Amino acid sequence: MLPALYLIPVTLGDTPLDHVLPSHNTEIIRGIRHFIVEEIRTARRFLKQVDRDINIDDLTFYPMGKHADAAQFSKYLAPLRQGEPVGVISEAGCPAVADPGADLVAIAQREGLKVVPLVGPSSILLAVMGSGFNGQSFAFHGYLPIDGKERAKRLKQLEARAKAEKQTQLFIETPYRNAKLFADICNACAPTTRLCVAAGLTTENEYIRTHTLKEWKQKGLPDLGKIPAIFLIY
């Protein structure tokens, strides 16, 4: 097995692994003993789902979550510099995309270390695929401002950009605030602007719908509960 920084995707929710992850990923994972992860507990659980025979206690985990010290990231790559493969595991989907794993990849690239992104589900790409919007030009903006006035201003900016550049605009919100963000979009943007809501992607509760805001106001947004969602306007 080649020594490299392997970017290992995980499921986006409660989804059977074989529905979204190729068997090749399993073979790669079995050959890795060092993992840089967003959350150690969920990473351990994921690895056990991949292969029950993996001895978790033989593995070394390095944290890269929100409370981790980014100054330590370079040290995490020490095994790779010594010729051992290292894996990166995010909380959901593909590591290094809207994820602290990007900082690790940047270090590896600067040092000329091999980086291998593995195949797996990306909520951003899946949302664009299912929206019917422009898939040649799109931008992901993460979380919008919390302040009401700042959020409305930002939404208007993104709407203008979508129309001027014909570019799909994507953003997210903490799941329990999905309904609030939906209402803010309806209030800030024009009735003719199209909105896609993509929630629970790849899971049994998957929901992907595109309507104009005028139509959304008539239909209303279903109760998504705590289901992670991506919002797209175009």
Q: How far apart are CA 115 and CA 120, in angstroms?
A: 16
* pLDDT score at 196: 98
| CATH at 32 | 3.40.1010.10
Closest C-alpha among 38, 18, 27 to residue 94: 38
- Enter the tokens of residue 24: 């090749």
Does residue 40 sit in the same domain as residue 107?
A: yes
Does residue 85 sit in the same domain as residue 151?
A: no
* pLDDT score at 105: 96
Q: How far apart are CA 99 and CA 185, in angstroms?
A: 25
| CATH at 188 | 3.30.950.10
Could you say which of 95, 117, 139 is where a domain stops?
A: 117
Q: Which residues of the chain have pLDDT under 70?
A: none
Q: What are the pLDDT digits (tens) for 136-181? A: 999 999 999 999 999 999 999 999 999 999 999 999 999 999 999 9
* SS3 at position 28: helix
Count other C-beta atoms under 10 Å from residue 192's C-beta.
9
Considering its fold, how many domains does the chain have in total?
Answer: 2
* pLDDT score at 98: 87
* pLDDT score at 127: 98
Domain that holds residue 32: 5-117
Q: Judge whether 91 and 42 are in contact, CB under 8 Å.
A: yes
Could you say which of 88, 117, 146 is where a domain stops?
A: 117
Does residue 149 sit in the same domain as residue 96?
A: no
Mean of pLDDT over the chain: 95
Based on its alpha-carbon atoms, the radius of gyration of the chain, rounded to whole angstroms, reads: 20
Does residue 89 sit in the same domain as residue 185?
A: no
Burial letters 20-47, b for 16+ CB under 10 A, else e: bbeeebeebbeebebbbbbbeebbbebb
* pLDDT score at 1: 85
Q: Judge whether 17 and 11 are in contact, CB under 8 Å.
A: yes
Could you say which of 92, 117, 142 is where a domain stops?
A: 117
Does residue 47 sit in the same domain as residue 149?
A: no
Does residue 15 sit in the same domain as residue 109?
A: yes
Does residue 110 sit in the same domain as residue 169?
A: no
* pLDDT score at 109: 97
Q: How far apart are CA 81 and CA 63, in angstroms?
A: 19
Does residue 228 sit in the same domain as residue 130?
A: yes
Does residue 146 sit in the same domain as residue 222?
A: yes
Count other C-beta atoms under 10 Å from residue 219's C-beta.
10
